[in-house]
Structure 1
Amino acid sequence: MPDRWLALRRVGEWVGLESDELSEYLATIRPVHNQALQARKERDPKSDLRDEYFDFLNEAVFPAEPVVSFLRRKQVEEQIVKRFEEGSVPVKDSFRALSVIDYGLDEIVDFVMLLKLLEQYQERAETAVEPLENLHSLVYLVNYRLSESDSQAVSDDLGFGMLEKTGFRYTFERRGNYVWSDSLQRDQDRLAAWEILNRETIENPRSEWDITYSVSLGKAAELFLTRFEKRLNSFDSFLLNEWEIQQNAVLEDFATSSKAGISSYLKSLERFSGCGDGEIVLNGRPKRFKSNQDQKRIRINV
């Protein structure tokens, strides 16, 4: 069965929801989804939605009153709202990839560091990251350690805005015994669409895994890293130095750990254990990379 959170979120993006509105949409639709799924299991305990999941969403989730009312409050186009009411949302099409990378330096920095994390992970573990939630937890731990460090990365005379802390711009929430970031997942989706990342369904997942996908570097990753890693390092490697040190330290500690091992460590952190399910455990970096020398966005046909 396709992962429920990915499908729900991708449809929200297809609608055109972003940032806070996307988060509100997910907070509205997830309980509806869970109730509908539970009701189906009670009616038919042997039901397998593997090949019928998108139909299930259109029959029991998207037409639900809380979902439709939310869309109308957000003034979503009536034509789209009607598709929810009628149960004709093009779920499969909502996974359609964009054909162009069109981002500024801030996003490119995150992409490069994420790819470097995966590159180092695969060298240490000799396998793809699995399950998908482990990647979210590893990225969170990088930012967590950066947030706990005393040093600060600041700009020099190259014109970069001062960074209070380096690290990924992703904000993380607690989801059971792991962490999750919608914005990180959105970037993963895009990188996978451009074949910079590979994301594959795990054939024999373990029972404790929630999201049964693995993530690894794709065939276009080397080209991407070569082009942008050199570009970033050429103008100011100091900004990324601490970030990379902490990232490599996290991988040294956890690259070969199971989900249970990483979850056990997360529970030992007061910042994580003190949060309830769905609460924010860590915000992304408070200031972003800005260059007075290069304000143009980077556009690549893929």
Structure 2
Amino acid sequence: MTDRWLALRRVGEWVGFEGQELSEYLTTVRPIHDQALEDRKGSETERDLRDEYFEFLNENVLSAEPVVNHLRHYQVDQEIVRLFETGSVPIKDTFRSQSVIDYELDEIVDFVMLLKLLERYQERAESGVEPLENLHSLVYLINYQLSESESYSATEDHGFGMLEKTGYRYTFERRDDYVWSDSLQRDLDRLVAWQLLDRELIDEPKPEWDRTYSISLGQAATLFLTRFEKRLDSFDSLLLNEWEMRQDDVIDDFATSSKVGISSHLDSLDRFRNCSDGQIVLNGRAKKFTSDQDQRGIKINV
């Protein structure tokens, strides 16, 4: 039972609740959890429940109307609320030990580059990225610049700007006056759960902001960058250096820009302007990184 309460708590921490807010979330969710367990008795064995527990939480507990209403009351980001409503909360990622990262090198490359982006951004802007959609637009602009470079060809069969050599693996779609990537958001959520990134609700958001959160480096980010940066420096360094150069250029150009300023620049790009709302505006990296050694399952304590 201790592990089960821990799963509910980890989900609350992943949402961004802490202190009294976390206590109120647990007060809301625990009776629903207990009733759902009671209703399940007799229909399936305890072993079945253990095997399917995260699915059980999504279907019977986290998607319950009182839980969703609780999130709305605290003005939780709509993308997160939608995950609760649809029973799609990435519980396994939030329940994973926060002190261990266990992913393929291909994914770790993106994690490191995201952290380096935040590091560079905070040096230039002296703050985290706000609102949340600005971070998505910045990552898109990095991939856009790489896709426009002569050394990085676009494969028409896969849509606009399929990056063949480097750049983030995220696919972006147009959302009104900005871009959004569900896969990027999943990675951001993981990094927040591991305390590599901090996500904070903005007290006085501007009317044009859709997702009223800021993203900044977390307390574990420095160690993560130091350890993995050394590993990546010797791995396809020319590609990574080009990627980082483009990333630094984007940050230098837009670190002090408002959402209105970034949206204005997006609208000046034919690729963005010619896409309707909800259409894919840019695909991500097509090929995975490889190396001479088996890099699968890299772990690091953070």
TM-score range, shorter chain: 0.5 to 0.7
CA contact (8 A) 1:97 1:194 kept: no
CA contact (8 A) 1:147 1:165 kept: no
Structure 1 alignment gaps of length 5 or more: 1-9, 11-50, 56-75, 154-162
Structure-1 residue corresponding to 2:192: 192
Structure-1 residue corresponding to 2:217: 217
What is the TM-score normalised by the length of structure 2? 0.67
Structure-2 residue corresponding to 1:125: 125
Distance 1:236 1:210 in 2: 37
Deviations 1:205-262 (A, max 9, x none): 1111000100111111110000001110023311201111111111111111000000
Report the Cα offset of residue 77 of structure 1: 6.8
After superposition, where does 1:94-173 map in structure 2 within 5 Å?
Answer: 94=91, 96-99=94-97, 100-152=100-152, 164-173=164-173
Distance 1:108 1:149 in 2: 24
Describe the shift of the 1:84–1:97 C-alpha distance in structure 2 as closer, same or farther (beyond 3 A). closer
**Corresponding residue SS for 1:101:** strand
Aligned length: 226
Structure-2 residue corresponding to 1:183: 183
Describe the shift of the 1:142–1:120 C-alpha distance in structure 2 as closer, same or farther (beyond 3 A). same
Tell me the amino acid that sits aligned with residue 282 of structure 2. L
Pair 1:287-2:287 in alignment: yes
Pair 1:266-2:266 in alignment: yes
**Mean Cα deviation higher: 275-284 or 79-88:** 79-88
Distance 1:151 1:235 in 2: 19
Report the Cα offset of residue 278 of structure 1: 1.1
Describe the shift of the 1:222–1:271 C-alpha distance in structure 2 as closer, same or farther (beyond 3 A). same
CA contact (8 A) 1:97 1:190 kept: no
Distance 2:90 2:179 in 1: 28
Structure 2 alignment gaps of length 5 or more: 1-10, 12-23, 29-53, 69-83, 154-162
- CA RMSD after TM alignment: 3.2
**Corresponding residue SS for 1:174:** strand
Give the % identical residues.
67
**Mean Cα deviation higher: 223-232 or 233-242:** 233-242
Structure-2 residue corresponding to 1:300: 300
After superposition, where does 1:52-71 map in structure 2 within 5 Å?
Answer: none
Distance 1:214 1:79 in 2: 28
Structure-2 residue corresponding to 1:19: none
Report the Cα offset of residue 80 of structure 1: 6.0
Distance 1:206 1:220 in 2: 30
Distance 1:124 1:298 in 2: 31
CA contact (8 A) 1:121 1:129 kept: yes
Distance 1:135 1:234 in 2: 28
Report the Cα offset of residue 288 of structure 1: 1.3
Describe the shift of the 1:78–1:115 C-alpha distance in structure 2 as closer, same or farther (beyond 3 A). closer
CA contact (8 A) 1:272 1:281 kept: yes
After the TM superposition, which segments of 4 or more aligned residues of structure 1 sit over 4 Å from their partners?
76-95
Deviations 1:21-77 (A, max 9, x none): xxxxxxxxxxxxxxxxxxxxxxxxxxxxxx99xx9xxxxxxxxxxxxxxxxxxxx97
Structure-1 residue corresponding to 2:45: none
Describe the shift of the 1:77–1:202 C-alpha distance in structure 2 as closer, same or farther (beyond 3 A). closer
Distance 1:86 1:247 in 2: 41
Report the Cα offset of residue 273 of structure 1: 1.0
What is the TM-score normalised by the length of structure 1? 0.67
